[in-house]
Each structure stands twice: as structure tokens, then as C-alpha cells.
Amino acid sequence: MIQNQRPTIRRIAFPILIALSISHCLNDMLQSVISAVYPLFKEDLSLSFVQIGLITLVYQMSASVFQPLMGLFFDKRPIAWSLPIGMGFTLVGIMNLAFATNLYWLLASVFIVGIGSSVLHPEASRIAFLASGGKRGLAQSLFQVGGNLGGSLGPLLVALLVAPYGRRYIAFFTAFALIAIVVMIPICRWFRSYLNHIKKSPMFVAGKIERPLSSRMTVLSISILLILIFSKYIYMASLTSYYTFYLIHKFGVTVQDSQFFLFVFLVATAIGTLVGGPVGDRVGRKYVIWASILGTAPFSMMMPHVGLAWTVVLSFCVGLMLSSAFPAILLYAQELLPNKLGLISGLFFGFAFGIAGIASAVLGGMADKYGIEAVYNVCAFMPLLGLVACFLPNLKKR
């Protein structure tokens, strides 16, 4: 019947998806500026490590905890121009970051930047879902890979544009926020047209879209997906935060070489992100999720026990396998609750960010106490939690 059908966009809107990927890239680049300029904060304002930790906590709270709240708000009151509103918060926060003269001003600045991220991730993910033309995995992968690229570019640009000249040059990053707002204009026009379209459709008048599973099975499936996010991002945190230290300690490589080997891992994560979504469209998201996380275990468990060359090879395999999971996990969750796209996107992005932040702090304490190699010996077993994916229903059959 008509009331049980979603008003779909029949063809994938590639220009909109590319614009979303660029927006995601610019947003995550601006977000990554915060941690990249910690040494400048510490020197200019004579901050302690505890105060640096407080800055991280405030940012993580606004960038992760607020995401599902923002998603739920825009689920109930969709606004076509929500993306530029979020980037406006980021712009204001970055500008204040450049000129803050005390800790409280810094905390307010990173809080505002985090709010910008809380708006962009659930809203942009929702629009990517709607613009997919049915190829949701491909759409989500294109969106995600922009964020991967942006997170890598931020520290590099800080090293080139800010570190040699002083913290006030952070203000130059507001130009990237303005560029992002310009890129978002066609997205917003497309989204406004979509909202006008569904308001006229019989489905909108009839009510909500039917869910594929019962309430009990939906709750169980969401819980399993969160466990998988937990396992994925703890192990990812060990690599993104401490991989260079591990290589320097265990193999005596130079700092420059360790950065190169980290880049190899980051390239693998970008490739995996691009591959995971389209493969999920073809074979089903359950199988991609299962293979991505559980399939990482052999590589992760071998890595602490091999030489440098094999460590680099295995890290590439880990990045390729593990990064392909997130687009499939997010889309599986969105398909479970098709009426709550913003809430689901915010919940999973926020949970991923929060787990990554907490895991980095916990693993740092573990490395201080037991040594950096102990971190990798323990974290190597985290992908085994991928076994719980076998309890997920196969939505492709439905």
C-alpha cells in the first residue's frame, strides 16, 4: 500500500553526496584543529595536563552527547538550512579559540565547536541517506570518507599555518568554515525541495513508515550494534593515538618514519570506508559488519608478534577491514528506525566519538603503567567481539 512506502529519490544524487563529503571533510578538519593546537594552549596560557584533559572532556561532551539530542530535535522539526546553522557554531567557536585569554574562554570555545559537529553529523548523514537513490551504502561511504580525509588534514594545516606563527593564526581557519557554508547551499536547496515533496505525498499524510522488526528485536539489534561500535573504536583508538609511539618504542624508527607508517594505516581506513558501503548494498549489511570486525581479529592478534615490515602490512589490513564496518553499522541502524534517521545518526556518531575519547585516555594510562606494547597485546582481542554480529537479523531478506 502507498502509506507503507517511502517517497524515494529514484536516482542517486551524486552532486549532493559530493557536496556532503566536502562539507564533512571541512567540518572534521576544523574539529581536529582543537587537539592539534593543545601544545600552543599549554604554552600560551600555562595550562596543566589536567586542564588540557578538561578541555577534551568539554569538547567530547558537546560533540558526542549532544548529537542524538540534535538528531531527535531535527527529526521532529526538520530545517532545510540546518547544516549552515551548525557550521556557524563552528565558525564562532574557532574564532574564539584563536583569541581566548583564559581557560574558561577556551572551554566555551571548544563547547561551541562541538555543538557545530553535533548538528552536522546527524543532519548530513540523514541527507546522505535520502539522496542515495537506494544505494545507501555507496552514499554513506562517500560521506564518511570526507570525514576521514578532513581529520587527517587538520593537524597538517596547523603545523603549516599556525605552529610557526602563533595561536592567533587559528583565525585563518574560519575561511574554511565560510567555504563549507558556500558548499552547503546547494545541499540545503535540495533538502528544502525534498521536504516540500514529502509534505505533499500520501505517505506523509498517512503517518510513519513501518519498521522492519518488532520493538524487542529492534532494541536487541541496536544493542548489538553498539557493542560492535565499542569494540571497533577501542581498537581504532589504540592505532590512531598510540601507533607511532608503539613503532618508535618497539622498532626504534624515527618520528618521521612513524608518521609515514601511520599514513599507510590512514590510507587503508579511507579505502575501507569507500568499499564497505557498496559491498553492503550487494551482499547485505550483516555480512559486511560481521566480516569487517571479526575478520580483523587474525591481523590484530598477529601484529604484536611480528617484525616491522609485517606490522605495517598487518596495520594496512586492519585499517582496510575495520573501517568498512561503520557505514554498514550506521545504515543497518537507520533501516531499523526509518522514522528516526537523525536520532540514530547522532546516537552512533556520538557514541563512536565518546568511546574513542574515553578509550584514548584509558589506554594512555595503561601505557604509562604497563608499557605501550601491553596496550596492543590487550586490544588485539577486541575484534573478537564481532562474534555478536551473528545474532543480527538479516534485513536484506526483508
| Domain boundaries 14-197+214-391, corresponding CATH code | 1.20.1250.20
**Alpha-carbon distance 69 to 65, whole Å?**
8
* Ordered DSSP codes for 176-207: HHHHHHHHHHHHHHHHHHHHHHHHTSHHHHH-
Distance CA 171, CA 166 (A): 11
pLDDT of residue 201: 61
DSSP assignment of 1-52 equals: -GGGS----SS--HHHHHHHHHHHHHHHHHHHHHHHTHHHHHHHHT--HHHH
pLDDT at 397: 56
H or E stretch at 79 = none
Per-residue confidence (pLDDT) for residue 205, from 0 to 100: 45
Centroid of chain to Cα 198 = 29
pLDDT of residue 238: 79
- pLDDT the model gives residue 184: 96
CA distance 139 to 133: 9
Counting as low any pLDDT under 70, the low residues of the chain are 1-10, 49, 200-209, 241, 255-256, 259, 396-398
> Tell me, what's the pLDDT at 97?
92
Q: In angstroms, rounded to a whole number, what is the distance separating the alpha carbons of residues 216 and 159?
A: 50
Of 389, 54, 25, 35, nearest to 230 by C-alpha is 389
pLDDT tens string 255-286: 667 767 887 887 888 888 888 888 887 888 88
Distances (CA, A) of 41 to 100, 117, 151, 170: 9, 21, 20, 12
> Which cell goes with 196?
516540500
Separation of alpha carbons 217 and 209, rounded Å: 17
Which residues are CB-contacts of 297 (< 8 A; sequence separation ≥ 6)?
380, 381, 383, 384, 386
Cα–Cα distance, 278 to 132 (Å, whole number): 11
Q: Which helix (H) or strand (E) holds 377?
A: helix 372-379
Give the per-residue pLDDT at 189.
94
Residue 310, number of CB atoms within 10 A of its CB: 12
Note whether 289 and 328 are within 8 A (CB): yes
Per residue in 264-280, is it b (16+ CB within 10 Å) or e — as a string?
ebbebbbbbbbbbbbbb
